[in-house]
Chains A and B, each alone.
Chain A
Amino acid sequence: MSKTTIIVGLGSCGLAAGAGKTYNEIERIKNTDKLDFELKKTSCIGMCFREPLVEIIDDSGTYLYGNVDVTKVDEILEKHIKNFSPIQEYIVKSDKFDSPDKDFFEGQVEIALRNCGHIDPESIEEYESKNGYAAIRKIANEKLKPEDVIQKVLDSGLRGRGGGGFATGMKWKFAYNNKAPQKYVICNADEGDPGAFMDRSLLEGDPHSILEGMIICGYSIGASEGYIYCRAEYPLAIKRLNIAIDKAREKGYLGKNIFGIENFNFDLKIKEGAGAFVCGEETALIASIEGERGMPRRRPPFPAESGLWKSPTNINNVETFANIPWIVFNGPEKYNQYGTEKSKGTKVFALTGKIKHGGLVEVPMGITIKEIIYKLGGGIQGGKKFKAVQLGGPSGGCIPEYLSHTPIDYDSVNATGAIMGSGGMVVMDETTCVVDIARFFLDFTQKESCGKCTFCRIGTKRMLEILTRITKGEGKDGDIETLEELSHSIKDSSLCGLGQTAPNPVLTTIKYFKDEYEAHIRDKKCPALKCKELITYDVIPENCTGCTVCAKGCPVNAISGERKQLHVIDHEICTRCGVCFTKCKFNAIKLS
């Protein structure tokens, strides 16, 4: 009989949902009741919608409990641990029986996320027990030459997961071919898309896989130093990376002549970003590491030729690196059996927004948007209608419901006008206003533009002004055409990807939802009933009981009426905050 294990998911999402308290409570009861089980920590398990998550593994099977707040701990330990009877209604996944949430996991293929939610990210031994550092050992034992490793990466078909989708093997080859006394490997952990957390989960959940991927890259291109550029907004990721680096150094996995490969030296440093989206762009990132303002520069020369301190440098995204050890260990054929002809392998997505089952999913390329949303994600929240999905964040675009059969691969997604991006997938329903979303992204890119290129700096500002006017009901004839014209000018005359893609959210929403723009401009109406200046709240006389709840709740005293009498809303005073709408128990407030 092996010992029962209880594992608590302590990623940022879990902690935000109270998993820390849950862990402490389990520990407390374990000690006071002298219970015999092993209590362990892991990171993100992926099911954000069921946080906090606690897994119990005993002789009979595995049981993942969802929504385990402190109040449930006692009951679960009492029944499951003391009396060996799992509480089926709290269990979201088990190998013993079907759970209502099983679809979330079916259809997923764990390669990049292979260890996330399964191991303690602060333990190097646990990583090693899952074939960790076995890929670099294989390189050492089989005496693979750098060219051999690069060939494997080329054969796998892996393309960069940071958004650009450039073939990783090709990039390594360029860096390898540029001979220089000093070369660098950089991991781009800036994760700037405001709606994405794939890289955070990987860094928090399996930091050693990133380290191993970077070590392999260092060996392949001939670099002895590496940097991880991680955004400062991710303190837990930085903490766990530091622990991982210290442990790897202790074991001699970083340093001189590592893994018994003669003359192979490699060590790593962490650089914290300082909150600038544009620093995710590779040349800006390099400037930022060098201590400068993070402004992009012209390419070529590409970093592979002249990067950090003018030395050949290879930059890859977190998820790209996480795939590398798996590919080297299992072989490229095993990797490229997943995916489509031109997009191999898997992709991790952060599924969020108006989706029922939001979380982190890893799916084979080629799966359709529909499958992700309806099968894995369980459909739309509150039975509302699916309207569009936003891919690629501020550089991407909206794909409408009628194109939801689009397969997820680089070319098919690009054909819609959106981009694959780094993996943010924000689901929108009928109550989401696409003009407001376009305005939201332009507000973001306008603030984050570094200011170097005139069109990006001023053009995005003009676009934002127009969009703001439209959402306020002050749109004019010709606004749509001006937006389109500005979009093309900005795309054509910006140096870096920020400006070149900033208009995408506007262009795609105009392409697929032109009628909504026109409704705002011409009819001064917001069909999604979202834009505050274009909606009104009214009392439905038949339903109003005169309970006074709305009048008491109104922060600006816009509602008048005596007790048990009909209430009225003064549109002049009303700020359209919606408090009356949410407070009314009798469905007596109408939004139009």
Chain B
Amino acid sequence: METNIKSILNNYPEGSADSLIPMLQDIQEHDGFLSKEAVIEVGKYLKMPASKIFGVATFYNQFRFTPLGKNHIQVCRGTACHVLGSATVLEEIEKNIGVKSGQTSRDGIFSLEVVACIGACGLAPVIAINGNFHAKVTGESIKEILENYRNQE
């Protein structure tokens, strides 16, 4: 894992402050989250205190500090989705997998994230699982969708 972080950092030879966010994005893309070790490594590379990096990373919704589940669920919290019932869908998902937004289920099968508008408002309410969109989801249909992912084990 460590060698991977090094190779990501080496893509930013100039090592300037404005590479910080892209670097963290690359690391998260690769590892699924930002580990403490990774943050320290970045700090050494950019000659920046780790506290400063945590300060920047925690400001942005995108960054996670716990590993993702096997299936990552993103629920859109946009206005169109809200008007068409996304709150019920979210509630059902939370109940079904037993975790709240930002958490990963104990068995590691699901992680849940509430995201700002995905921009597919015409198909609201929308959720994405592992990047695949599910359109016009209801509190009922979500159960089947989750079951399908669960059975893929």
Interface residues of A (CB under 8 A from B): 12-13, 15-17, 48-49, 51, 191-197, 200, 232-235, 271-277, 288-294, 350, 352-354, 358-359, 390, 393, 424, 426, 428, 432, 437, 440-441, 444, 450, 555, 577-579, 582
Are A13 and B117 interface neighbours, CB within 8 A?
A: no
CA distance A353 to B84 in the complex (A): 7
Known: A274-B63, A352-B80. A291 touches B56 (CB 8 A): yes
The reply to whether B62 and A232 form a contact with Cβ atoms under 8 Å apart is yes
Assess A17 versus B116: contact at CB under 8 Å? Given A272-B25, A274-B60, A577-B139. no
Identify which of B3-11, B14-22, B103-111 touches chain A.
Answer: B14-22
Interface presence of B70 (CB below 8 A): no
A195-B80, A275-B62, A291-B20 as given contacts; A17 in contact with B135, CB under 8 Å? yes
C-alpha spacing A180/B63, complex, angstroms: 36
Are the C-beta atoms of B140 and A191 separated by less than 8 Å? no
How far is A120 from B123 in the complex, measured between Cα atoms in Å? 23
Contact B122 A191 (CB under 8 A): no
Q: What are the nearest 3 A-B pairs in CB distance?
A: A48-B122, A195-B79, A16-B133
Among B25, B62, B82, max chain A CB count under 10 A is at: B82
A–B pairs, 10, beta carbons within 8 Å:
A15-B133, A16-B120, A197-B119, A275-B60, A276-B61, A288-B21, A293-B55, A352-B124, A354-B83, A440-B79
Given contacts A271-B22, A277-B116, A289-B18, contact A16 B123 (CB under 8 A): yes
Specify which chain B residues have a CB less than 8 angstroms from the CB of A426 in the assembled complex: 79-80, 83
Chain B residues near A17 (CB, 8 Å)? 123, 135
Tell whether, in the assembled complex, residue B126 and residue A233 are in contact, meaning their CB atoms are under 8 Å apart. Answer: no
Within 8 Å of chain A (Cβ to Cβ): is B115?
A: yes
Among B131-147, those with CB < 8 Å from A are 131, 133-135, 139-140
Contact of B21 among A235, A291, A582 (CB under 8 A): A291
Interface on B for A, CB 8 Å cutoff?
Answer: 16-22, 24-25, 55-56, 59-63, 77-80, 82-84, 88, 91, 95, 115-124, 126, 131, 133-135, 139-140
Set of chain B residues within 8 Å of A358, measured between Cβ atoms: 80, 121-122
Residues of A within 8 A of B131 (CB): 235
Query: Contact between A293 and B56 (Cβ–Cβ < 8 Å)?
Result: yes
Q: Given the complex of chains A and B, what is the CA–CA distance between A533 and B77 in angstroms?
A: 21
In the complex where A195-B79, A353-B80, A428-B83 touch, is A272 in contact with B122 (Cβ < 8 A)?
Answer: no
Which of B16, B78, B135, B140 has the most chain A CB atoms closer than 10 A to its own CB? B78
Contacts of B139 in A (CB 8 A): 577-579
CA–CA, A200 and B120, complex, Å: 9
Task: Take A191-B119, A195-B117, A197-B119 as given contacts and tell me if A276 and B60 are in contact as well, using a CB distance cutoff of 8 Å.
Answer: yes
CA of A233 to CA of B80 in the docked complex: distance in angstroms?
Answer: 17
**CB < 8 Å neighbour of B18 from A275, A290, A359:** A290
Q: Which residues of A lie under 8 Å from residue B95 when comparing CB positions?
A: 555
* B119 and A200 contacting across the interface, CB-CB below 8 Å: yes
When distances are taken between beta carbons in the complex, the residues of chain B under 8 Å from A48 are 121-123
Residues of chain A contacted by B55 (CB below 8 angstroms): 293
Q: Which residues of B contact A271 (CB under 8 A)?
A: 21-22
Q: Among B59, B124, B131, which residue has the most Cβ atoms of chain A within 10 A?
A: B59
Complex alpha-carbon distance, A488 and B88, angstroms: 33
Residues from chain A with Cβ under 8 Å of B133 in the complex: 12, 15-16
Q: Which residue of A lies closest to B135 (CB)?
A: A16
Given A275-B60, A577-B88 in contact, is the A197-B120 Cβ separation under 8 Å? yes
* A290 to B: closest C-beta gap in Å: 5
**A15-B133, A276-B60, A276-B61 known; A194 and B122 CB under 8 Å?**
no
Are B115 and A51 in contact (CB-based, < 8 A)? no
Rounded to whole Å, the gap between the CB of A496 and the closest CB of chain B is 15
